[in-house]
Structure formats: C-alpha cells, structure tokens
C-alpha cells in the first residue's frame, strides 16, 4: 500500500521528541530543529489541513492527545500545547523530504548490469517480470519503502522551475545527495525544484497553482518572470488529469523521490 505522507510525518515528530529526550545536549538539538523554516499561524493551519486531508482535518487535537500520552516530556512541554503541536506538524509538513528506497530495484539494476549469454539473460528477465507481477498481486503497484527525513542544508534550497541542482538517494538509503545539474558560480543560489519534470513543463499558471496550493508561495524564478506576460492558461496535461484531487497531488509531491 502507498501510505500517505502523514504516516511518516507523525513518526518523524516522534523521532524529534525521542532525539531530544535521549540527547545529552538537549539545547543543541532544539536549536538545530529551530533552523527549519517556520510559517505564520494561518499558513501553519493551511499546511496542517493539507497534510491531514479533508477527512481527517478535525483530528489534529486527537493526534495531539495521543502524541502527548505516548511521548510527553517536561523539557519539550511547548511542543505538546495545541499551538506548539500545530507548529511541529507544519514544520514537518514544510521541511520533510520524502524518501523512497527499494532493495528490489537495486537488485534488478545489478541484474541488468550483468554480462550474460543471451539465453540466460532472457531467463533472468522473464523471472524478474514474473517476480514483479507476483509481488504486485500482494502489495499493489507501489513497491518502494517510504519514509521522510529532515535535512538542514537541503531544506534551505529554494524552488526554481529551472533548477540548477537536484535531490536524489542513489545509495538507496536515507543519505541524500544534492547534485549540480550545471556549473554553479560561487555566490549563485542553489535551487532545486519542488515540481516533478512533467509539472515543470506546464504553463506558468499551472505551475504556480500547484506551488501555491501545496507550498503556499508564488514562484518568481527566471522562467516564471520571463513568462509573466503569458495568458493565465491551464496546461492541457492538467485538464487531462482533472480527476486528480489536490491532496493526491500533494501526496505525490511529498513522497516521490
Ligand atoms: Zn518558476
């Protein structure tokens, strides 16, 4: 099953509490977490609703009570107040980076790289095809292991519709790589894209609709500025995908790596 991102968000919050509870230098960790981007109260409210979705948006208080019962710590008492808990939730929602790993796909890549005689290659490929089909029958299409993490440096990277760097997890674990896509001059801002490559091909209007709804900002990257005079048209791709809800888009955004 493809779990929605809030499943790992709440675990990330539990990890934050546990990290501080167990730390010798608690203040150092509090400071480290305070480096992540903060939002205004209204924006926090919006992010929390987005994360929980329409069906669960009234349940933040229930989550807070359960969280308090399980993990309350005097030192972190402000994280357990209604305002503090909402801020914590929004912090994870704003800064959490989805991580998808798959030992299976790593193994398949290794198989692909083998230099095999034709007959063995065909047998191996057929075996892998069948393996995927059998697994899908049990687990559905989504096979990755999912999680989310907080990365201090990467979360400082702003969005651009023409990014000069990209995030990846090539070692198939939580180790994040930020790779330059072109030469970057000293002093030049490093930007990643919060949109996937299909979304980046959409019109300025469509791109900004996604960014506003999911990240609460309007993009002013060079591409958006150059297209500022374009009519407010919605891309064909978006019209085709109209059945998709905003929440589904948010989930995709937050979990795809
Ligand atoms: Zn832009």
Specify whether the CB–CB gap between 87 and 78 falls below 8 A.
no
Domain layout of the chain by residue ranges: 5-96, 103-143, 157-255
Q: What DSSP line would sit under 138-150, residue for residue?
A: HH-S---EEEEE-
Superfamily of domain 157-255, CATH level 4: SET domain (2.170.270.10)
Whole-number Å distance, alpha carbon 195 to ligand 1 midpoint, is 10
Whole-number Å distance, alpha carbon 201 to ligand 1 midpoint, is 11
Give residue 38's pLDDT: 77
Q: How far is CA 155 from CA 32, 46, 250, in A?
A: 12, 20, 17
How confident is the chain (257 residues) per 10-residue block, as mean pLDDT?
A: 58 92 93 85 83 76 92 93 90 84 88 95 96 88 81 91 92 91 96 92 93 88 91 61 44 38
Give residue 235's pLDDT: 63
**Residues with C-beta atoms within 5 A of ion ligand 1:** 161, 219, 221, 224
Q: What DSSP line would sit under 76-99, residue for residue?
A: GGGGGSHHHHHHHHHHHHHH-EEE
Whole-number Å distance, alpha carbon 72 to ligand 1 midpoint, is 42
Give residue 6's pLDDT: 52
Neighbours of 44 (CB within 10 A): 20
Whole-number Å distance, alpha carbon 248 to ligand 1 midpoint, is 22
Whole-number Å distance, alpha carbon 221 to ligand 1 midpoint, is 4
ipTM for this prediction = 0.99
What span, in angstroms and rounded, lies between the C-alpha atoms of 95 and 152?
9
Whole-number Å distance, alpha carbon 94 to ligand 1 midpoint, is 18
Nearest CA-CA partner of 99 in 217, 9, 195: 9
Classify residue 250 by burial, with Cβ atoms within 10 Å: 0-12, 13-18, 19+.
buried
Give the pairing type, strands 145-149 and 97-101.
antiparallel
């Amino acid at each position: 099953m493809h779990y929605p991102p809030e499943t790992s968000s709440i675990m990330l919050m539990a990890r934050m509490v546990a990290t501080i509870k167990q730390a010798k230098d608690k203040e150092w960790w509090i400071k480290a977490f305070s480096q992540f981007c903060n939002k205004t109260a209204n924006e926090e409210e919006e992010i929390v609703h987005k994360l929980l979705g329409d069906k669960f948006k009234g349940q933040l208080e229930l989550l807070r009570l359960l969280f308090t019962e399980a993990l309350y710590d005097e030192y972190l008492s402000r994280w357990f107040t209604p305002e503090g808990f909402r801020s914590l939730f929004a912090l994870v929602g704003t800064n959490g980076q989805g991580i998808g790993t798959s030992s299976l796909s790593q193994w398949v890549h290794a198989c692909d790289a083998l230099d095999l005689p034709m007959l063995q290659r065909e047998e191996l490929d057929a075996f892998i095809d069948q393996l995927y089909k059998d697994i899908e029958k049990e687990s559905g299409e989504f096979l990755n292991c999912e999680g989310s993490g907080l990365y201090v440096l990467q979360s400082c990277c702003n969005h651009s519709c023409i990014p000069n760097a990209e995030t990846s997890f090539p070692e198939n674990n939580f180790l994040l790589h930020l790779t330059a896509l072109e030469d970057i001059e000293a002093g030049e801002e490093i930007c990643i894209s919060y949109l996937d490559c299909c979304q980046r091909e959409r019109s300025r209007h469509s791109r900004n609709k996604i960014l506003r709804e999911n990240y609460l900002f309007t993009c002013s990257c060079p591409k958006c500025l150059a297209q500022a005079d374009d009519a407010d048209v919605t891309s064909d791709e978006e019209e085709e995908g109209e059945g998709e809800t905003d929440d589904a888009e948010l989930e995709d955004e937050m979990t795809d790596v």
